[in-house]
Amino acid sequence: MQMDATVISFADNNSIASHIANQLNAIYTIAKIHEFPDGESCVRIDPSKIRDTVFVLNSLYHPDQLVLPLLFLAGTLRDYKAKKIVLIAPYLAYMRQDKRFNEGEGISARYFARLISEYFDGLVTVDPHLHRIKSLDEIYTIPSHAIHAAPVVADWIYNNIKQPLLIGPDSESEQWVKYLAQMAQSPYVVLEKIRHGDNKVEVSLPQVQKWLKHTPVLFDDIISTGRTMIETIKHLKQTDLAAPVCIGVHGIFSGNAYQELVAAGASKVVTANTIEHHSNEINIAIPIVQAINQLKF
């Protein structure tokens, strides 16, 4: 049955977007961005494809260039009589600046949430980085829904790794690692991390003597500079464990992070397709479709 809705994305997010539209049996269309010589942009849609409910599907990776066109898109859709505009952002940006880390800084998570809440009627995302902010409702004033990637990550581990030992690089990762270990019926350890700066991270030495025959699987929600995982790998090298498989839900891979992770000794790097990358082996489209089907926005 055709869902009376539109899924729209900008061209660079279109493989997961078209797949989701297909699964929903909804209309799929691409919004175009025209950049003027002065650096300003104009968003154009095909009005004949717009239904009352519109899902705008865009991962908010490198958000600063993307967000203005995204807001213009929401405005344009509203002008063309879309009644409900739901942002599906498989990766939700600006969740990590959730407090004033240094005097004089702003709390971007809050400002960003205010902006998105003004233009959209609902938000669906995958594992937003909830740390000091415990729920999206604390900062978003629109209804929101956070999908957990853990079940599809657990399936991937189950189907691909024999005898895993789950390793979380810091206390924030314990929630996921504990669940994944339960699903895989495997042991887990969680290390301690101290971040000294964007590119400087210190991680405690893991106690793993009991599990030397297992395959270490490092898991984190985000791989950005890769420093957290690289430091963990350095420590694992001081044990007799095999080279680890590194799994991240959101593979941001700033700079050469992916190459550096491989050079540091990861046997494999795997991510979910919340951000398009050749390491995407975990498909998040099905849980997104299930969540959309249950939305009561």
Using CB under 6 A, list all residues that contact ligand R5P.
Answer: 96, 170, 172, 201, 220-228
CB-wise, 121 or 170, nearer to ligand R5P?
170
Residue with Cβ nearer ligand R5P (180 or 201): 201
Please give the structure tokens belonging to residue 89.
């952002």
Is the separation of the CB atoms in 121 and 85 below 8 Å?
A: yes
In angstroms, the CA 93 to CA 129 distance is 9
Q: Closer to ligand R5P at the Cβ: 9 or 225?
A: 225
Rounded Cα distance, 60 and 95, in Å: 11
Torsion of CA 252, 257, 263, 265, to 10 degrees: -50
Nearest Cα neighbor of 124 from 63, 70, 175, 58 is 58
Give the closest residue to 106 by CA, choosing from 94, 92, 118, 122: 94
Give whichever of 7 and 223 is closer to ligand R5P, judged by the CB atom: 223
Distance of closest approach, residue 197 Cβ to ligand R5P, in angstroms? 10
Taking the complex as a whole, the smallest distance from the CB of residue 274 to ligand R5P amounts, in Å, to 14
CB of 168 to ligand R5P, least distance (A): 9
Task: Give the distance from CA 140 to its chain's centroid.
Answer: 17
Q: How far is the CB of 8 from ligand R5P (least distance, A)?
A: 29
Helix (H) / strand (E) element for 58: namely: none
| CB closer to ligand R5P, 91 vs 119 | 91
Question: Residue 56 or residue 190: which is nearer to ligand R5P going by CB?
Answer: 190
Pick from 34, 39, 46: nearest CA to 7: 46
Q: Which helix (H) or strand (E) holds 177?
A: helix 174-184
Q: How far is the CB of 201 from ligand R5P (least distance, A)?
A: 5
Q: Residue 181 Cβ, how far from ligand R5P at the closest point, in Å?
A: 17
14 vs 224 by CB, closer to ligand R5P:
224
Structure tokens at 8: 């729209």
CB of 165 to ligand R5P, least distance (A): 19
Q: Helix, strand or coil for residue 296? A: coil
